[in-house]
Chains A and B, each alone.
Chain A
């Protein structure tokens, strides 16, 4: 049977982010040169000065949209991309910088900059899918490099990438871990968090803090029982949801539920 004919063009684009997700590609030390044989790396500014013009067969997009200019730029990227894959929490949910969405961004700018007027920024940090159509999403802060390779191999072979979207718990059990919540009383977001990391935190005896964002099904209200039983306060729960995927709707709702309860409690006390 004929092998693949044309080497597809791969491009990597960056928006507001820490670079960690695209670095995952360079962290595939064993596969990097093989990948370079399988695709034409058309644009990957972190690694190469070369820029080939679009259109691109596969575009990996890292980072969230936080400036008016970026909101424009992502449309251009989409127009140039056959398959667009967002990589990481910033691109898929707005990332940690989306903490600004629920506060006064001017206030934030004042904390960091003496002359905030120089800073041109939007009041929100939003996921790519809020701006353009996204074909596949890779979750995680950062993404898992094995998943990235699996997605690239799938796309190169015309297969639907298999990106398990169930809970972290399933992967935890596949590894044979002992549940940190049931056996150690450690609060853990694993039951509502999207798989992909291989249940890293529980493997290291800590509770999952949700860096892969919400799983396909999230009963955060149900989970509250277990978190409280494990000694988490409502403030702790609210803060934990408010980190790397703070703007992902299920996590956002979970924070708000906690905050409402805290306010009610304070009201009763006051």
Chain B
């Protein structure tokens, strides 16, 4: 049964999590955006801030409503928490008999995600499928994912570039959380409907000053999600999309987008599911110790497809096509799911506002209409 937590008591949730030894990560306003950082108290949250997002544009605006979670997703995603941007894998020391490999272990820590959105929970699940449930699990990723408490937040607004409703990933978190909050902001009555998704969630909820929810509140929460779903900034027709894209590898739209795309890689960096990495081997000056680090890589770099003699994908057209077809088509073949959760980050944070929904739709159309 859902319960209700007064907005004024939200800090109790933060403290309950901290009290259980979780490092609480959540939305924080910094440098003109809402990013993910440590949340020590509820007051650290971006109270009253809304984000206005469009292709290639993001601004924060202050509102009077005093809501804790009135914004949508920002430039960061939980990818940085689990599939970290840069990490060392091992060191190698040279010695008389050859060399020894000294692996780096992932730090084990309990992490609580405060305010994960439905699309983000899906994105984490997609990365889990690739990095944990494949043939060769990534041990460091798996370790980071091993003790995570998820407090989901159901979006009360749809962002200007959101299309989770099209991708079937939101705006309401259906599973994959320990607790899920829906913020209800009414004059004089600011509260959260709290759904419990796990035993851990129930145990935490039991420590909070909550009361059972009444049917009106449950209904109000449901209509928050319905309103949000109806207000999506973007939509994408996914029926037969995979086949449409894979059939259209020579569509003229690829040439068109290539004149606009900068191959800067921002879209892949901000995408919560993009998982590609680069490895770099280094040595100390004396040549006695070597190490290998891993960092996020992008299919938009020339080096990504480099083989002896040159790059396989030297044109921007080929790189954009690789990205879009991988995300929306190849991913299904590889992992049985779309690689896109409709969060809209790649649209907002593309410096020139290239819109995946527009491009996919255009490529999916017969040539003369495209």
In the assembled complex, the CB of B292 is this many whole angstroms from the nearest CB of chain A, namely 11
Interfacial residues of chain B within 248-294, with CB under 8 A of chain A in the complex: 259-266, 269-270, 280-288, 290
In the assembled complex, the CB of B358 is this many whole angstroms from the nearest CB of chain A, namely 15
B215 close to A (CB within 8 Å): no
CB pair A159–B263 under 8 Å, yes or no, is no
In the assembled complex, the CB of A265 is this many whole angstroms from the nearest CB of chain B, namely 22
CB pair B31–A226 under 8 Å, yes or no, is no
> Given A1-B98, A152-B285, A170-B269, A217 and B31 touching (CB < 8 A)?
no
| Chain B residues whose C-beta falls within 8 Å of the C-beta of A190 in the assembled complex | 264, 351
Give complex CA distance A81, B316 in Å: 36
CB pair A179–B349 under 8 Å, yes or no, is yes
Which of A1, A166, A205 lies in contact with B302, CB distance below 8 A? A166
CB pair B58–A217 under 8 Å, yes or no, is no
Q: Which of B58, B75, B290, B352 has the most CB of A within 10 A?
A: B352
CB pair A165–B302 under 8 Å, yes or no, is yes
> Given A182-B56, A191-B264, A176 and B80 touching (CB < 8 A)?
yes
CB pair B351–A179 under 8 Å, yes or no, is yes
CB pair A170–B260 under 8 Å, yes or no, is no
| Chain B residues whose C-beta falls within 8 Å of the C-beta of A170 in the assembled complex | 264-266, 269, 296, 298, 301
Which of B31, B35, B290 lies in contact with A205, CB distance below 8 A? B31
Give complex CA distance A205, B296 in Å: 23
> Given A166-B301, A170-B301, A223-B262, A178 and B32 touching (CB < 8 A)?
yes
CB pair A191–B295 under 8 Å, yes or no, is no
CB pair B260–A222 under 8 Å, yes or no, is yes
| Chain B residues whose C-beta falls within 8 Å of the C-beta of A222 in the assembled complex | 259-262, 352
CB pair A165–B303 under 8 Å, yes or no, is yes
Interfacial residues of chain A within 186-217, with CB under 8 A of chain B in the complex: 188, 190-192, 205, 216-217
A112 close to B (CB within 8 Å): no
Which of A35, A37, A156, A167 lies in contact with B265, CB distance below 8 A? A167
In chain B, what residue has the closest Cβ to A205? B31
Give complex CA distance A215, B32 in Å: 27
Give complex CA distance A11, B270 in Å: 42
Interfacial residues of chain A within 149-168, with CB under 8 A of chain B in the complex: 149-150, 152-154, 156-157, 159, 162, 164-167
| Chain A residues whose C-beta falls within 8 Å of the C-beta of B286 in the assembled complex | 3-4, 34, 37-38
Which of B31, B98, B283 lies in contact with A159, CB distance below 8 A? B283
In the assembled complex, the CB of B65 is this many whole angstroms from the nearest CB of chain A, namely 22
| Chain B residues whose C-beta falls within 8 Å of the C-beta of A165 in the assembled complex | 301-303
Give complex CA distance A164, B284 in Å: 19
CB pair B302–A217 under 8 Å, yes or no, is yes
In the assembled complex, the CB of A144 is this many whole angstroms from the nearest CB of chain B, namely 15
Q: Count of chain B residues with Cβ under 8 Å from any Cβ of A?
A: 54
CB pair B285–A35 under 8 Å, yes or no, is yes
> Given A170-B264, A223-B351, A217 and B303 touching (CB < 8 A)?
no
In chain B, what residue has the closest Cβ to A39? B285
CB pair B264–A182 under 8 Å, yes or no, is no
CB pair B285–A34 under 8 Å, yes or no, is yes
B30 close to A (CB within 8 Å): yes
B368 close to A (CB within 8 Å): no
A181 close to B (CB within 8 Å): yes
Which of A164, A174, A178, A219 lies in contact with B85, CB distance below 8 A? A174
CB pair A156–B351 under 8 Å, yes or no, is no
In the assembled complex, the CB of A177 is this many whole angstroms from the nearest CB of chain B, namely 7
Interfacial residues of chain A within 28-71, with CB under 8 A of chain B in the complex: 31, 34-35, 37-38
Give complex CA distance A88, B303 in Å: 22
| Chain B residues whose C-beta falls within 8 Å of the C-beta of A156 in the assembled complex | 283, 285, 287
CB pair A169–B269 under 8 Å, yes or no, is yes
Contact with B along A212-242 (1 / 0, CB 8 A): 0000110101110110010000000000000
B348 close to A (CB within 8 Å): yes
| Chain A residues whose C-beta falls within 8 Å of the C-beta of B35 in the assembled complex | 176, 178
Contact with A along B13-54 (1 / 0, CB 8 A): 000000000000000001111010000000000000000000
In chain B, what residue has the closest Cβ to A173? B269
CB pair A182–B283 under 8 Å, yes or no, is no
B110 close to A (CB within 8 Å): no
CB pair B302–A223 under 8 Å, yes or no, is no
> Given A170-B301, A178-B75, A219 and B263 touching (CB < 8 A)?
yes
| Chain B residues whose C-beta falls within 8 Å of the C-beta of A152 in the assembled complex | 285
A131 close to B (CB within 8 Å): no
| Chain A residues whose C-beta falls within 8 Å of the C-beta of B76 in the assembled complex | 176
| Chain A residues whose C-beta falls within 8 Å of the C-beta of B99 in the assembled complex | 1
| Chain B residues whose C-beta falls within 8 Å of the C-beta of A159 in the assembled complex | 281, 283
Give complex CA distance A181, B264 in Å: 13
A133 close to B (CB within 8 Å): no
CB pair B59–A173 under 8 Å, yes or no, is no
CB pair A225–B352 under 8 Å, yes or no, is yes
| Chain A residues whose C-beta falls within 8 Å of the C-beta of B75 in the assembled complex | 173, 178-179, 182-183
4 more A-B contacts (CB under 8 A) besides A1-B96, A181-B56, A183-B75? A34-B286, A167-B264, A183-B32, A219-B259
Some 8 contacts from A to B, beta carbons below 8 A apart, are: A1-B97, A34-B284, A37-B285, A169-B266, A178-B30, A179-B266, A192-B264, A222-B261
**10 closest A-B pairs by CB:** A173-B269, A191-B264, A166-B301, A178-B33, A169-B264, A178-B31, A191-B262, A167-B264, A217-B263, A157-B283
**Chain B interfacial positions (CB closer than 8 Å to A):** 30-33, 35, 56-60, 75-76, 80, 85-86, 94-99, 259-266, 269-270, 280-288, 290, 295-296, 298, 300-303, 316, 348-349, 351-353
**Chain A interfacial positions (CB closer than 8 Å to B):** 1, 3-4, 31, 34-35, 37-38, 149-150, 152-154, 156-157, 159, 162, 164-167, 169-170, 173-179, 181-184, 188, 190-192, 205, 216-217, 219, 221-223, 225-226, 229
